Amino acid sequence: MSKLNWLKFEDYIVEKMKQHHIPGCAVAVYSNGEVIYKNGFGYRDMITKRPVTPETIFGVASITKSFTALAVMRLEEAGFLSVEDAVTKHLPEFNLIGVDDMSQIKIYHLLTHTVGLAPMFRREELKKLKHHVAYLSEKEYERLGDPGEYFSYCNDTFLLLGAIIEKYTGKLYRRYVTESILNPLKMYRSTLSIDELGKYENVSVPYDYNKKTGQLEEKPWPKLGNYEIGGGIRSTVLDLLDYGQVFINGGKKLVSEETVKRMWQNPIKIINNTYYGYALQVTPNYANSTLVEHGGGQPGVSSHFGFVPEQKLIVSVLCNVSNVPADEIWLATVNTALALPIDKQRSIEPSFEISAERLTKFLGTYDSSEGGKATIFLENGKPMLEVNEETYSLRASNDHTLVIEMNERPITFYVDGDDQAWAILLGFRMLTRKKSWVPGT
């Protein structure tokens, strides 16, 4: 791999950091038995100007989900459960109002975010998993469909996996993950404890970019409560390379090669060439290989991690600011490592001539109890998206999909019997349409 390729990549990342107001970012690449690239960019602390290094600790957010999935697969291999089991077989107290047959909800529905619930209001003050099980039973929440019918992130059902892990290990989730995954892989700069985080050197400061003031604002580390099961690990890009070897080196003695491959083989289809396995996103047929990855976001955190099994390639990217495209940096890193064009996309959506009448069926504001909100509207006859205080131009790729032109990300529209859109899939979350929306609001 030529030095020139990485110099071009470094020019790319510096420009990306300027464009998105990223204070600090770390990148590391493992290929065929060795670390072939590692670097830190920018600052872990904007006040002291201490630089980011490959050893800097960041939040990894939802990359944590694959650790949880791996822990579940370990329990399956040990004979405690099957991912085909009903959740109630292991958590008899689990109940959802409005679901007549709870045995329909399987462990793999939790792993693949296909339980059928929309994103829920977060209860980060809950610290015991039994309290979260009770929270899920309190009232009827917004249901999207039957188990397996729709894919949509639901952190509140995913964390039930932590309750199952605690039941069969007799240990707190964080202790089990530390003892059975982090320590055996020598991930000694990785932790689920905020208190422990304060004892390390070279830790990033989390930031959020205030678009109104044009300033980076320091954020406290989120305490998360039970949500640590889907987002509580803090780590380094180098530690994540050690973790990635579980997936490309036959399980690295944590699980069998056959068991670990099940986490990304035979995934469910989300849209076109994007699939989802057990807490891992899958893109098949990418330059004759498979991309397996997952990102994450929290206040002060944007992260992305993944691997290309055929090439024995692992890439990790961590940033210390919210809502920036760590996934784009990750893909550019993969492209550089594979000697592909740095701007090659996972897929390019086709163009489609959609009628004005059809477009009107999509207009409206869509949201969820978790807090996500998006508005689809027309500007001079062209479809537009407003989300996170930003506006993006759209185009159609078929009669039920609009694409964000800036980054080729599709938005799927779900329609009812009257051909009116009732929900969208934006990223990994389904947002449902507000029935009271009228143009101009």
- Give per-residue pLDDT as tens, 282-307: 999 999 999 999 999 999 999 999 99
pLDDT of residue 210: 93
State how far the Cα of 219 lies from the Cα of 213, in Å rounded to an integer. Answer: 16
**CATH code of the domain covering residue 66:** 3.40.710.10
SS3 sequence of 225-291: HHHHHHHCCEECHHHHHHHHHHHHCHHHHCCCHHHHHCCCCCCEEEECCEEECCCCEEEEEECCEEE
Could you tell me if 104 and 251 lie in one domain? yes
Q: Residue 337 is inside which H or E element, if any?
A: helix 326-337
Judge whether 9 lies within some domain. Answer: no
The answer as to whether 329 is a domain residue is yes
Residues 6+ apart with CB under 8 A from 227: 122, 124, 155, 159
Predicted pLDDT at 3: 64
State whether 237 and 312 are in the same domain. yes
User: Are 287 and 396 part of one and the same domain?
Assistant: no
Q: Are residues 333 and 372 in the same domain?
A: no
The percentage of the chain sitting over the pLDDT mark of 90, rounded to a whole number, equals: 87
C-beta separation of 423 from 436 below 8 A: no
Residue 14 in any domain: the answer is: no
How many domains are contained in the chain? 2
CA 265 distance to own-chain centroid:
18
pLDDT of residue 347: 87
If we measure between CA atoms, which residue out of 325, 271, 353, 349 comes closest to residue 17?
A: 325
Q: Is residue 5 part of a domain?
A: no
pLDDT along the chain (441 residues), means of 10: 80 97 98 95 97 98 98 97 98 92 97 95 92 90 92 95 97 98 98 95 97 94 94 98 95 92 94 93 95 96 97 97 96 96 91 92 94 93 91 94 92 91 95 68 43
| Domain interval for residue 427 | 356-433
Asked if 134 and 126 touch (Cβ cutoff 8 Å), the reply is no
d(CA 178, CA 28): 22
Q: Write down the pLDDT at residue 98.
A: 86
pTM, whole model, 2 decimals?
A: 0.95
My answer on whether 339 and 390 are in the same domain is no
The CA distance from 380 to 396, in Å, is: 16
Residue 309 maps to a domain: yes
pLDDT of residue 438: 47
Q: How far apart are CA 50 and CA 18, in angstroms?
A: 18
- Residues 433, 377: Cα–Cα separation, whole Å: 13
Task: Give a yes or no: residue 12 inside a domain.
Answer: no
Q: At which of 301, 327, 347 does a domain end?
A: 347
Decide if 27 contacts 302 (C-beta within 8 A).
Answer: no
pLDDT given at position 439: 46
Same structural domain, 142 and 228: yes
Shared-domain flag, residues 229 and 343:
yes
Residue 358 CB contacts under 8 Å (≥ 6 apart), including other chains: 399
DSSP state of 93: T
Which residue, 315, 347, 379, sits at the end of a domain?
347
The CA distance from 232 to 75, in Å, is 20
Contacts of 34 (CB under 8 A, 6+ apart): none
In a domain? residue 124: yes
Q: Are 239 and 189 in contact (CB under 8 A)?
A: yes
As a whole number of angstroms, the distance between CA 384 and CA 405 comes to 10
Residues 155 and 291 placed together within one structural domain of the fold: yes
Residue in this structure with the two tokens 């210390």, named with its chain if needed: 320
Closest Cα to residue 172, out of 181, 180, 163? 163
Domain co-membership, 234 together with 211: yes
Amino acid at 251: G
**What's the CATH code of the domain at 392?**
2.40.128.50
Judged on CB neighbours under 10 Å (0-12, 13-18, 19+), 85 is middle
Question: Is the distance from CB of 42 to CB of 22 less than 8 angstroms?
Answer: yes
The DSSP 8-state label assigned to residue 16 in this structure reads H
Give the other-Cβ count within 10 Å of 138's Cβ.
9
Q: Domain boundary at 347, 370, 387, which?
A: 347
Query: How many Å apart are CA 281 and CA 327, to the nearest integer?
Result: 12
Task: Decide: residue 175, CB within 10 A, 0-12 exposed, 13-18 middle, 19+ buried.
Answer: middle
**Domain contains 45:** yes
What secondary structure does DSSP assign to 401-413, as a single string? Answer: EEEETTTTEEEEE
Residue 172: predicted pLDDT? 97
Q: Are residues 365 and 224 both part of a single domain?
A: no
For residues 118 and 248, state if they share a domain.
yes
Q: What are the pLDDT digits (tens) for 187-236? A: 999 999 999 999 999 999 999 999 899 999 999 999 999 999 999 999 99
Per-residue b or e along 221-242, where b marks 16 or more CB atoms closer than 10 Å to that residue's CB: bbebbbbbbbbbbbbbbbbbbb
Identify whether residues 380 and 315 lie together within a single domain. Answer: no
CA–CA gap between residue 320 and residue 148 (Å, rounded): 35
